Structure 1
Amino acid sequence: AVDRPYTKDGSREADFIPCVTWGKTSETIGNYVHKGQRLLVEGRLQIRRYDAKDGSKRWVTEVIVNHAEFIERKEQTSQQPAPQSMESFGQQVPFDEEIPF
């Protein structure tokens, strides 16, 4: 789930994006991640079409995960509220205006 950066009518909204993993990545996530724990995922967006049982055409958009990274420990999930912005993920690095090329 990804929280939207705005509220509509005073309520929070989120988008639930299906993520597909294979191999060791899916095994690790299945063994060590629980509902509500945040992950950082990298991958490609895949849009595919299929025919439903009723004959209608359906579209699915999903992320095919190439890399997943734990960004919090299990203990943090139950003790701290979820951050509302990216600033909470680490330290800000100063911008160097000199370009090396």
Structure 2
Amino acid sequence: MKKTLVAALTVAMVAGSLVTATPSAQAHDGVGVGIAAGLLGGAIIGGAIASSRPAYGGPVYVAEPGPPPPPCYWQRQRYWDGYGWVIRPVRVCY
């Protein structure tokens, strides 16, 4: 319904602009009318586009998840902290 209405308004606007664009003895009189018709037509079409619902794309392919990450474990490692040897737990993953 909205598309039909927009199409009808577009045809009416184009027909109206053709009528106002007829040549006359004084060309400066038709310029203002043509600009006004263009602005009015742009406002009508812009309002119709702004009030329309957004279009969403179709279905999207989603790949299967990869294999699970390798298991991790905690290992006790010793290191020198400048004053002596310290043992701390470290997580090791492969």
Q: TM-score, normalised by structure 2?
A: 0.22
Structure 1 or 2, whichever has the larger Rg, is 2
User: As a proportion of its length, which structure holds more strand?
Assistant: 1
Per the normalisation by structure 1, the TM-score is 0.21
Structure number with the bigger relative contact order (C-alpha 8 A, sep ≥ 6) is 1
